């Protein structure tokens, strides 16, 4: 695979700042005030990706892989992102263009005659996805909360408090009101409730890849350190880690990791004993997604 990208470069150091790869693979040039006043310059670069399993070798290579994820050309965990943090520079994502953080004061001074109020929405290695890729059939209430490299399938709705990191996302119509962290996949017709969280592969350096199956609900302010199968529910406010002791449907008490990935389970805390229980259930218990909310064309 070969893609043509438009690259911003720091004029003083010659280091790459970012690279945008138009999905059309055409030579489309960007412009910004930071380039106009000479802090950054731009050119076109062609990047060839021979294999999804190969290790990224450059900033440009890393940006292409993040684009492929956000374009839904590859699913999370299907492309090698090893060492990506070391390849992505920390950038001040200003309203006048991306620059290294040390250049913000200089930029502010150089554009003083432009009658322009400079804003710095973030300082981070990852930019907003929507500045590079705008997926189809998706609603995002607050674009600052979705990083480039997020994988959002058509029918996904990300509400204001929802957050989707790179190498994570959805496989179909989904409601995201909580945090979807790296490596996590949310199945079709599932709901990540407000304030809910899913442990990803960066949580404490963990390697366990967690996911949520289809037609499942992670309740408000709940969390999981295990995978949920299809038609599962975690009640609001309950955090189920891999080591949480759970009373299984057969009456035995097991660590939650032993139930990871199983379908048709409701995880709840017994209101009288405080014990965490897993009982049989299906999606009819919570009613499923409202289809009208996910018709995003």
pLDDT tens-digit profile of 96-145? 999 999 999 999 999 999 999 999 999 999 999 999 999 999 999 999 99
The residues pairing with 247 across neighbouring beta strands, listed in sequence order, are 253, 277
pLDDT tens by residue, 204-244: 445 678 999 999 999 999 999 999 999 999 999 999 999 99
Higher pLDDT, 288 or 198: 198
Q: Give pLDDT, residue 202.
A: 59
* Helix (H/G/I), strand (E/B), else coil: 135: coil
Q: Summarize the confidence of residues 59-75 as an average pLDDT.
A: 98
Residue 184: pLDDT over 80: yes
Q: Has 177 been annotated as catalytic?
A: yes
Average pLDDT value for the chain: 94
Q: Give pLDDT, residue 278.
A: 97
Q: If pLDDT is split at 50, 70 and 90, which confidence band does 66 have?
A: very high
CA distance 62 to 258: 36
Q: Give pLDDT, residue 282.
A: 82
Residue 263: pLDDT over 90: yes
Q: Give pLDDT, residue 205.
A: 46
pLDDT tens by residue, 196-212: 999 876 554 456 789 99
Q: Give pLDDT, residue 128.
A: 97
DSSP annotation of 89 reads: P
CA distance 238 to 64: 38
User: Residue 177: which residues within 8 A CB-CB, separation 6 or more?
Assistant: 159, 161, 162, 191, 192, 193, 194, 195, 196, 220
Residues 48, 106, 173, 177: which is the catalytic one? 177
Q: Give pLDDT, residue 23.
A: 95
What is the share, in percent, of the chain residues with pLDDT greater than 90?
Answer: 90
Residue 103's Cβ-side half-sphere holds a number of Cα atoms within 13 Å equal to 26
Alpha-carbon torsion angle 239, 222, 188, 65, nearest 10: -80
pLDDT tens by residue, 24-38: 999 999 999 999 999
Q: Give pLDDT, residue 290.
A: 73
* Helix (H/G/I), strand (E/B), else coil: 146: strand
Retrieve residue 26's tokens: 């055409």
């Amino acid at each position: 695979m070969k893609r043509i990208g438009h690259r911003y470069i720091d004029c003083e150091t010659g280091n790459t700042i970012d690279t945008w790869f138009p999905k059309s693979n055409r030579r489309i040039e960007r412009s910004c005030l930071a380039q106009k006043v000479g802090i950054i310059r731009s050119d076109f670069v062609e990047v060839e990706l021979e294999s999804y399993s190969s290790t990224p070798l450059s900033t440009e290579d890393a940006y292409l892989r993040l684009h492929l994820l956000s374009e839904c050309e590859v699913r999370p965990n299907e492309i090698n992102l090893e060492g990506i943090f070391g390849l992505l520079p920390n950038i001040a994502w200003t309203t006048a263009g991306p620059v290294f953080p040390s250049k913000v004061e200089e930029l502010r001074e150089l554009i003083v005659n432009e009658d322009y109020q400079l804003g710095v929405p973030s300082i981070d290695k990852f930019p907003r996805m929507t500045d590079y890729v705008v997926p189809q059939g998706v609603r995002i209430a607050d674009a600052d909360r979705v990083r480039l490299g997020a994988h959002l399938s058509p029918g996904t709705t990300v509400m204001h408090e929802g957050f989707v990191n790179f190498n994570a996302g959805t496989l179909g119509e989904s409601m995201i009101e909580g945090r979807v962290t790296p490596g996590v996949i949310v199945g079709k017709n599932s709901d990540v409730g407000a304030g809910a969280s899913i442990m990803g592969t960066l949580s404490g350096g963990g390697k366990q890849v967690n996911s949520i199956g289809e037609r499942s609900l992670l309740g408000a302010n709940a969390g999981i350190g295990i995978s949920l199968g299809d038609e599962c529910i975690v009640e609001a406010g309950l955090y189920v880690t891999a080591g949480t002791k759970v009373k299984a449907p057969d009456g035995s008490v097991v660590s939650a990791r032993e139930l990871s990935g199983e379908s048709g389970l409701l995880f709840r805390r017994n209101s009288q004993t405080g014990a965490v229980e897993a009982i049989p259930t299906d999606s009819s218990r919570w009613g499923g997604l409202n289809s009208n909310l996910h018709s995003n064309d």
